[in-house]
Amino acid sequence: MASRITTIGELAACGALQFGDGYRTKRSEHGQEGYRIVRVADVTDDGVSFTGPDFVSEEYSKAIGPKVGQPGDILLTTKGTVGRIAVLPETRDRVVYSPQLCFFRILNSGVVAPRFLRHWFSSPEFWSQAADRMNNTDMAAYINLADIRSLKLTLPEIPEQRAIAEVLGALDDKIAANTKRVVIADKLARSLTRRAMDAARTITLSSLATVTMGSSPAGTSFNETGDGTVFYQGVRDFGVRFPTNRVWTTSPVRMALPGDTLLSVRAPVGRVNLATEETCIGRGVASIRSSTRQPFTLFHILKDSPDTWAPFEAEGTVFGSINRGQLESLTIPTVREEDERYLESSLASLEAAISTALQENATLATTRDALLPQLMSGKLRVKDAKKLVSAAV
């Protein structure tokens, strides 16, 4: 089918979509309830979170106008971390977007298929133009509304758009289903851990674990080609459960072993991941290794103790941090002795299920990202892509 080249601005002018940046609030407009502000940090690969503390008061609803979020809005981060994409889900919260976000609202799905546009923002066609239009200041990179208006996109006929969106959407749906499984398993693990706690007894971390503080190798040893040992510097590499391999070093110093809890010791203090392989850890990370053969119990105790880390986030003139002495002397909750074996076994089973789901998601995402540019460019026919997707899901 024939495709045409158009722009975001032209699609807005013909009434196919609406787009704009968020509402520029004044501090005096903030309140304890009303319209929750969705910020750049709330837009992640997993969707949109609603954890921000700031609201715009109800009395400013007329000023907010069309910038009130609607389910199905496509969100693009336009400042700082440019290019993260998410779709606003159904939510009980009334939301308004910060000025560092741009929203795209489909008004005529007979011209633009919503899921097609969502995937287009991940395509090379978008990214090559975004890179050319990116502005940089001393503070952050950004892309403005005029640049977004001028973005060109190749728009197939609507049946082809929907077919492409259906193929890629099947992968997204499977990823979403796996992500939901991970969330459910994580909630169950948290519940089991809390129920097994001995409220009458705490213990120092050093009684349960060995602490290894990270130390960064020479910068000249770093590479991104997989040469040497994988290296984690801090929470930048942390994922839902396991870190992402991004940097390697040929001169490792301090090491973590598979099953160790990786703990961020610089702001934000207290974030945790699990090590899946022998890895080098930098100054922003500590390895916490169970000395009681209960690695998953230790992981969940550390993971679900936010009050433990709050004092260290508040210390220091700029960034929170925690040192080895403070870590080892940390008092943490304990598990009742009669529940220890059952809890560790249950957590091990749940963590195995989480690991399987996350590994499958990584494979599905790789498949989707490989198909995306080929489908968008027309180099791969939809019917051929469907065969590949059927095998993957």
Bridge partners (DSSP) of residue 55 are 31, 36
State the pLDDT at residue 272: 95
CATH number of 197-335, picked from 3.50.50.60, 3.90.220.20, 3.40.640.10, 3.40.50.300: 3.90.220.20
Q: What is the pLDDT of residues 179-197, one digit of tens each?
A: 999 999 999 999 999 999 9
State the pLDDT at residue 210: 97
Domain ranges of the chain: 3-156, 197-335
State the pLDDT at residue 291: 95
Q: How far apart are CA 371 and CA 391, in angstroms?
A: 13
State the pLDDT at residue 309: 85
Residue 15 has pLDDT above 90, yes or no: yes
Q: What is the pLDDT of residues 134-170, one digit of tens each?
A: 877 656 688 999 999 999 999 999 999 999 999 999 9
Q: How far apart are CA 210 and CA 76, in angstroms?
A: 43
Give the pTM.
0.79
Q: How far apart are CA 337 and CA 292, in angstroms?
A: 12
Bridge partners (DSSP) of residue 105 are 18
State the pLDDT at residue 316: 44
Q: Where are the alpha helices (DSSP H) in 134-216?
A: 145-149, 158-195
The class (CATH top level) of 3-156 is alpha beta
Q: How far apart are CA 293 and CA 298, in angstroms?
A: 9
State the pLDDT at residue 317: 42
